[in-house]
Every structure is written in C-alpha cells, then in structure tokens.
Amino acid sequence: MKLLKTYVILIVIVAIFAGAMFALNLHTGPIIEKNNAGAANDKLNAVMPGGSGYEDITATLTARPASVTTVYKETSGLGFVMLCTAESSYSTAPMEITLGIAADGKISGVEITAYNDTASFDFRTKDPSYLASYVGQDSALADVGLVAGSTFSSTAFRNSIVAAMEVMTANNLIAAGVKGDDQILTELIPTVAPGFTKLAEAEGTGNIQKVFTAENGTGFAYIVNSGDATVLAIVNAMGVCKVYDVEGADITANAADVVAEAVAHASATPNKFTDDLTTKVGRMMEGAADITPIALDTFNTVVSAVSFTVDGTTYYAFYSRSIGFHQMDVFFVIDENGAITKMDAKQFIFDEEYFMAFGGMDVTAYKDGFVGITGDTFTGDEVIIATATMTSNAIKESTQDVFTAFNALKGGAQ
C-alpha cells in the first residue's frame, strides 16, 4: 500500500510536469523552431544582409561545376547564396567559400568559412581588404585582382568566384556583367603569354595605360591606346613584341607604333638572362664557340635562347624560368635534331623541408635522364621527382616550353 502510494505520487509528479511542459511547448515550440531556423540562416545571411528565408535550388541548375556545392535562392527575391570550394597547389583540403549574389548580379558579400591553404600565404592576412573588394562587383569582376605573395591561393579563390558567377549567368539567374576593353585584354594575357606569371600591375605613360610586369622576368604586358581602340602588347624577355586587339586577334603587323612604344618601354629594364645563359653554356659545354643570341616570338617561360658550335657542330641553348615551389632557373642544350644534350637547373640544392627527397636524390642521374629526349618522345614522366610535385611540374613546364621554343626556332629557320 505504501509502495503503491509512492508510485502514484511519482507518476502524478511526472504527469503534472509533462502536462506543464506540453502546455508551455505550445507557446515556446514555434519560437524555438524559428530560432533554430534563424541559426541555420545566419551563415547565409552573413553574405546576404536582410535575408529572410532560403530555398535550395542546386538541383535545378545546369552546367554546375564541382566547385559550386550548393546554391540557395533567397525567398523574398533578394538574390542568391552559393557555397563554393576552391583548391590551389597549397591546399590541404578545399577552401570553403560562402558567396552572396544580389538579384542585380552584384556580389553582396563573400566569406571564407574554411581556409585550408598554407597559413603564411593567407591572402586575407596579406591584404585584409581583399574580400571586401569583391563586394559590389558583377560577374565581370572588373576591379578585383590577385594578392601578391599569395598568387596561387588568391587565383584559386578568384577562379572559384568566377565559376560560381558563370553558373548563375548560364542559368539566366543573374545578368552577366559587361567587361571593359582593358579588362578583356588583361584577361587575355594568360592565354597569349602563358609564361608570364605573378604579374605586377602599374600605371603606364604616354599611350600605355597599364604595365604588367612578370615577376619571373619572362616579360611585360601593356594595355595601350591605339587610336580609338585599346590593344594588348606583350614583350618577352628576348625583346620580341606581339599586339592583340580586344577580339584576341594578332594585329602585330598593323601596329608598328604600339610595338615601338612597348619595346622601348621594355628595353628600359634590361635583363641579364642572355649573359647568364652564355656563362652557363660555357660551363655546360666545353669548347662552345660562336655563341649567338636568338630572339624568339614565344611567350612562355623561355627567357633567352642562343646558338653555338662545338667542334663545328651546332647546338642551341635555352633558359627557362618556370615557377615551382620557388622560382626555377632551368637550362637545356638541344642539338640540331631536337634531342636534349644537357639539362641543368640552378635549384638542385633545396633547403625547404618540402624537398627532403632531394637530399638523397641522385642529381647527376636525374639530369642525365633528359639526354636524348626530343619534343616527340617527351612524355612528362621523365621529370617526376617523388615528393616534389611542384618542382617536377615546373621542370615539366620548362621542358615543354623549351621544345616549343626550339620548334619556333626551327620553323622560323625553314
């Protein structure tokens, strides 16, 4: 009987409180639910100020690249929020980006929720205003550059934003931004001059609007006023100039004035690549004579080329400056038949832990491995150094560029 009373009392207590909680929940339940929904929206509202609710429209999009993971539509019509990723050579995992695009096609906000690149190259630290510079831009991204000292990471980030904007324009969700001539020409540089890396921008003089200087010394690019039009002039380290119009067509033959102005500007900053290459040839090939510089119209990483003779046989030497973990200086000697005779690089002593494998690497055997390779037999596997992917890729780029230069040379000679 006493036990029964105990149970009854306990059950009554539980029942009363359960009832009270049920009643209270009628009031607090909806508020809590709203709070929880609000918390999920906070992340999206951070890039879409004033957003009230979001609808996932990812599945309805066509031509969506892998870098765009989720797309939300703001339900009151303010715009869109996209979750994107970006990956550079320094990424341990993809960077995670939240991008807000207002209905008028302009970026309303952008945030990096996870940054997985090397911390010392964090472009947010190098340029604290960088993310803010995206806000208000349309899909043309006209006023957004890259961050010096964090080129790989900021390029990856920018490309991810570009890809995200492209999806939105391709699906007719936002209007595409209109690019100015100078922007179109600036974006043309990587296509026509792939060897020009880490471009530094400066104001020009005279007809030259803007000057881009490749940090690796491979050349200069100029945005030049030519009459009513704006054109792009590129000058490589060997002093050869090419001119392109906004359509991307080569108009060098009709733009002598532009060529003259660009070459004059470029030659004001002389380089010593040919001197370096001449010295190097003297060391690499005993008895080298008649060393003659050659000017090539290639705009890759080759900065200098010479021809020379050893005992009456003609050889060609090339100097390529590609970028791996650091700036690379790679030298090749190629014979008349297009086969590599010698290969060398300044950077075979590496102090970075990244290249630990280099400590035990047989450098001589590695260099000898290039001998006899021609442009036709080169596969890219010859250059691979385990654990030094970025350096391997740089050497691969150099090798390919040198063969391109050799073909240009031979093509020009014929």
CB-CB contact of 180 with 142 (8 Å): yes
239/222 Cα distance (integer angstroms): 14
- What is the C-alpha separation between 224 and 233, in angstroms, rounded? 7
Q: Is 26 in the site for another protein (CB under 8 A)?
A: no
200 lines the binding site for another protein (CB under 8 A)? no
Site for another protein in 109-128 (CB under 8 A): none
Q: Which two tokens stand for residue 2?
A: 């006493």
Of 13 and 132, CB closest to another protein = 13
Q: What are φ and ψ of residue 242, in 5° steps? A: -135, 150
CB-count exposure of residue 76 (10 Å: 0-12, 13-18, 19+): exposed
What is the nearest approach in angstroms of another protein to the Cβ of residue 25?
5
Q: Does 170 bind another protein (CB under 8 A)?
A: no
- Please pick, from the candidates 32, 93, 178, 357, the single residue that binds another protein as defined by CB under 8 A: 32
37 near another protein (CB under 8 A): no
CB nearer to another protein: pick between 39 and 59:
39
From 24, 93, 289, 384, residue interacting with another protein (rule: CB under 8 A): 24
Say if residues 125 and 117 touch (Cβ distance below 8 Å).
no
DSSP labels, 153-172: HHHHHHHHHHHHHHHHHHTT
Closest approach, Cβ 11 to another protein, in A, equals: 10
Pick the piece of the chain touching another protein (CB under 8 A) from 9-17, 130-138, 258-266, 313-321. Answer: 9-17
Judged by CB under 8 A, the stretch of 22-30, 313-321, 352-360, 386-394 that binds another protein is 22-30
Nearer to another protein, 41 or 400 (CB): 41
CB of 28 to another protein, least distance (A): 4
Strands (E), 251-312: 289-294, 302-310
As given in the structure block, the two tokens for residue 114 are: 């996870």
Does residue 25 belong to the site contacting another protein (CB under 8 A)? Answer: yes
Q: What's the rounded Cα separation, in Å, for the pair 304 and 219? A: 11
HSE, CB side, 13 Å, CA atoms: give it for residue 239.
14
Number of residues located near another protein, criterion CB under 8 A = 24
Q: Residue numbers of the site for another protein (CB under 8 A)?
A: 2-3, 5-6, 9-10, 13-14, 16-18, 20-22, 24-25, 27-29, 31-32, 35-36, 39
